[in-house]
Chain A
Amino acid sequence: MAKLWAIIKREYLERVRTRWFIIATVFGPVFFGLLIVVPAYMARKGKASTEFTNAIILDATQTGMGTKVAEAMAVGRLPGTPAPTVRVVPPSELTAAESTATHQVMHKQATGYLIIDEQTIKGEQLRYAGRNATSLNDMERLRNTVKQLILAGRLEDAGVNPDRVKELTLMPLQMNAERINDKGRGGSGTVSIIFAGVIAFLLYMSIVLYGQNVLRGVLEEKTTRVAEVVVSSVPSETLLAGKVLGVGAVGLTQQIIWVIASVVMFKLRAPMLALFGVTTTPFQMPEISIGLALLLLLFFLLGFTFYAALYAAAGASVNTEQEAQQAVQPLLIMLVATAVFINPILINPTGRTAIVMSLLPFSAPIIMPLRLAIGSVPWYELVGSLLALAVSCVAAVWVAARIYRVGLLMYGKRPTLKEMGRWISYSR
């Protein structure tokens, strides 16, 4: 037991100390943070219309409307972006001003130009030309702003007190569109689908990354002949177990750090976004019960052990990095096949594909947690999935341990499948 512990400790510490691990562990949360900030930032950019703040307003009305529009559009712009430029021009020179502005837009000195003329004041026509003319958001906002300002102007003309006008026209009407599908309102559904997708992706990633890690570790021990020294002190099964457990613990450590960092970042989301001048919309973190967390952990452990054992067997049966790439192909195909089904199953988590794939040992460790995260799964399906996975896990470890034991000390040519079959039957 002390020897197993020594092996686990070595596998764990040597990996955690590597630069690769530290970088991946630190950059995971940073990446996650960017995932929160960047879309919000981009969205805000769209809303605040930085596109428009760099526009030219050609005002041919002498009413000061151009300045008012510029002021309104400049509200909430990002620091550092210029306010729209207003050019008051006599109506007779409008055509010339237009061609100058066109030129400027062509040379990327401005995004576009807005023309305010008599027809605009009458509320008949507003003209805009620019690179962002196809942006429905921008155009809609522009139209609303000008419409509101014209309305305000008319109210003032009608003798309404300017302050009163401001009060009446100020109307930050926000629209919240919610989707309804077969199962009812889908608002919170989106959150759990994202959550389930993240869980499935994390499991997939860590099995692939750390499975490969086990493979490389075994191959290193074999090619440097360290394996011979170690198996002269402990049974090969102990070395295999220590390696799988040690590497698994590294993966788990990384995930725990990631999850904690993500949760913290989520909590700090509002102040973080405020730094970029974005206000947050309320967003409910999915609730994870202790039971669900334990189930997810169990699936990770079983799934990782299943794949890690097979990766170890593959590593022991080859001699070079190139051969290893070939040997892991069947494993990668199983994993990629599972990943391909993540999306369809997210859409239909109770369909036949979902049920079958949560019973197959190679896909169960990814698909079942995904379904658990989306919503409730019948208990018998859960138990069936766990049983199938546990039994296959034991079988995989048994087969892998035998291939590992023989393969570790066999150098030279790569064995055929038939030879590997014979290895399994070797007593010792």
Chain B
Amino acid sequence: MADYAVEIENVTKRYAEHVAVRDLTLHVPRGSVYGLLGPNGAGKTTTIRMILNIIAPDEGTIRILGVPSSDTHITDRIGYLPEERGLYRKMQVRRILRFLAELKGVKGAVADARITEWLERLELKTDEKDWGLSKIDELSRGMQQKVQFIGTLLHDPDLVILDEPFSGLDPINTQALKDTIMDLKHRGKTVIFSTHIMDNAERICDSVCIIARGEKVLDGSITSIKQSHGTRNIALSLDGPVSNGVSEALADRQLVSRVDDSNRYFEIEMAPGADPQDLLRRIVAAGASVQRFEMVQASLHQIFLEKVGAHSRAPGEGPWTEGVETGISGHG
């Protein structure tokens, strides 16, 4: 049992008007990086809040690092980065970090040493300037995000939960965050994060769980998920403008069942029984200059669209529902 950092068994959470999470079961292996994926309103935040014991499930059980989530001491071993960053605006950086550490049971003196270490590591404390002595509202947004991140990790948690950690980060901070997540993994920590951005999830996660409308759609390791979807996909890159002939070939439902058109790059899902060679011939015949034509595993993004799009399609709605659109565009 101790192989799992988080075990959620048949958990349901209802609110007055709707069911936020329905009969959810998922297991997060210890030491893994786990992605919780789903469109807005899928129940990710509710699930995270239940893991954190902020709210309690109506049915089912949750165990964290082998003990029930209601155990009051377990919160000291969890670090949480909320979706919308929360810091007291008028408070000095060092004081707020010390406060957050004390809430996790870290003694003041120990906290102070770690705060200095982290401030230096994230370049908030340099020879010229010690931002630790500034108030939060004197900091730039990026610096505030760093402070929040330090607050999440100051007590050296065994389980780190990041709610939409990449939203609003610039490329430099995104890279720094990825590095830190990898560092945590190498030190044997478990990281759970929720995101809409499939590329990030695909690159970083060991395992993922896709939920939509409060229910689990799919879970497992990235490798197994991708294998189970086979190599029915084609990655296609063209040089120059797309001719009508190419467009017609891609629109042919006998050949192609789905296209993700990114202007010069296409991810194509072949129709059942269709031969990729036929497609290549049609494209070449249309006079296109092909740079790349490769049979690949479906990307997580494609799998997500397929699963969640199909799952959340309601009568009268088009194939791309609102939830999925949000999922594609994401934040940043």
The reply on A71 being an interface residue by CB < 8 A is no
- Complex interface: chain A residues within 8 A of B189 (CB): none
Known contacts: A3-B102, A6-B103, A409-B49. The answer to whether A229 contacts B86 by CB under 8 A is yes
- Complex interface: chain A residues within 8 A of B16 (CB): 419, 422
Instruction: Classify chain A's interface size.
Output: 20 to 34
- Residue of B whose beta carbon sits closest to that of A220: B88
- Residue of A whose beta carbon sits closest to that of B104: A233
- Complex interface: chain A residues within 8 A of B95 (CB): 10, 14
A229 pairs with B151, CB closer than 8 A: yes
Q: List residues of B (53-108) whose CB comes within 8 Å of A's CBs.
A: 54-56, 72, 75-76, 78, 80, 82, 84-91, 95, 99-100, 102-105
Identify the interface centre among B16, B76, B87, B102: most chain A CB within 10 Å of its CB.
B102
Identify the interface centre among A224, A225, A226, A233: most chain B CB within 10 Å of its CB.
A233
The reply on A312 being an interface residue by CB < 8 A is no
The reply on A43 being an interface residue by CB < 8 A is no
The reply on A281 being an interface residue by CB < 8 A is no
- Complex interface: chain A residues within 8 A of B90 (CB): 14
A224 pairs with B87, CB closer than 8 A: yes
The 8 Å CB contact of A428, one of B56, B72, B76, B78, is B56
B89 pairs with A224, CB closer than 8 A: yes
A230 pairs with B88, CB closer than 8 A: no
- Complex interface: chain A residues within 8 A of B86 (CB): 221, 224-229
Q: List residues of A (397-427) whose CB comes within 8 Å of B's CBs.
A: 409, 419, 422, 427
Cα distance A232–B76 when bound, in Å?
A: 9
B99 pairs with A6, CB closer than 8 A: yes
Q: List residues of A (220-242) whose CB comes within 8 Å of B's CBs.
A: 220-221, 224-236
The 8 Å CB contact of B103, one of A14, A220, A230, is A230
Q: List residues of B (143-180) whose CB comes within 8 Å of A's CBs.
A: 151
A232 pairs with B80, CB closer than 8 A: yes
- Residue of B whose beta carbon sits closest to that of A423: B16
A228 pairs with B75, CB closer than 8 A: no
The 8 Å CB contact of B80, one of A3, A229, A409, A422, is A229
Identify the interface centre among B16, B80, B103: most chain A CB within 10 Å of its CB.
B103
- Complex interface: chain B residues within 8 A of A226 (CB): 86-88
Write the nearest CB–CB distance from B211 to chain A, whole angstroms: 19
The 8 Å CB contact of B82, one of A7, A225, A235, A427, is A225
| Mask: chain A, 357-390; 1 = CB below 8 Å from B; 0 = not | 0000000000000000000000000000000000
A225 pairs with B54, CB closer than 8 A: no
The reply on B52 being an interface residue by CB < 8 A is yes
| Mask: chain A, 11-36; 1 = CB below 8 Å from B; 0 = not | 00010000000000000000000000
Cα distance A155–B52 when bound, in Å?
A: 100
- Residue of A whose beta carbon sits closest to that of B57: A428
Known contacts: A409-B54, A428-B56. The answer to whether A224 contacts B88 by CB under 8 A is yes
- Residue of B whose beta carbon sits closest to that of A226: B86
A10 pairs with B99, CB closer than 8 A: yes
Cα distance A235–B70 when bound, in Å?
A: 10
Cα distance A406–B309 when bound, in Å?
A: 32
A427 pairs with B103, CB closer than 8 A: no
- Residue of B whose beta carbon sits closest to that of A13: B95
B103 pairs with A225, CB closer than 8 A: no
Identify the interface centre among A6, A227, A422, A428: most chain B CB within 10 Å of its CB.
A6
Cα distance A226–B151 when bound, in Å?
A: 11
The reply on A177 being an interface residue by CB < 8 A is no
| Mask: chain A, 313-357; 1 = CB below 8 Å from B; 0 = not | 000000000000000000000000000000000000000000000
Cα distance A422–B14 when bound, in Å?
A: 13
Cα distance A236–B78 when bound, in Å?
A: 17
The reply on A180 being an interface residue by CB < 8 A is no
- Residue of B whose beta carbon sits closest to that of A233: B103
- Residue of B whose beta carbon sits closest to that of A222: B86
- Residue of A whose beta carbon sits closest to that of B151: A229
Write the nearest CB–CB distance from B136 to chain A, whole angstroms: 9
- Complex interface: chain B residues within 8 A of A427 (CB): 56
B75 pairs with A232, CB closer than 8 A: yes
The reply on A2 being an interface residue by CB < 8 A is yes
- Complex interface: chain A residues within 8 A of B100 (CB): 229, 233
Write the nearest CB–CB distance from B13 to chain A, whole angstroms: 10
Write the nearest CB–CB distance from A304 to chain B, whole angstroms: 23
The 8 Å CB contact of B54, one of A6, A14, A228, is A228
- Residue of A whose beta carbon sits closest to that of B16: A422
- Complex interface: chain A residues within 8 A of B52 (CB): 232
- Complex interface: chain B residues within 8 A of A221 (CB): 86, 88
Write the nearest CB–CB distance from A55 to chain B, whole angstroms: 58
Write the nearest CB–CB distance from A134 to chain B, whole angstroms: 55
What are 26 A-B contacts with C-beta separation under 8 Å? A2-B105, A3-B105, A6-B103, A7-B103, A10-B95, A10-B99, A14-B91, A14-B95, A220-B88, A221-B88, A224-B88, A225-B82, A225-B84, A225-B85, A225-B86, A226-B88, A227-B86, A228-B84, A230-B103, A232-B75, A233-B75, A233-B103, A409-B55, A422-B16, A427-B56, A428-B56
A-B CB proximity, top 7 nearest: A225-B86, A6-B102, A233-B103, A428-B56, A226-B86, A232-B80, A228-B82
Residue numbers of A with Cβ under 8 A of B are: 2-3, 6-7, 10, 14, 220-221, 224-236, 409, 419, 422, 427-428
Residue numbers of B with Cβ under 8 A of A are: 16, 49, 52, 54-56, 72, 75-76, 78, 80, 82, 84-91, 95, 99-100, 102-105, 151
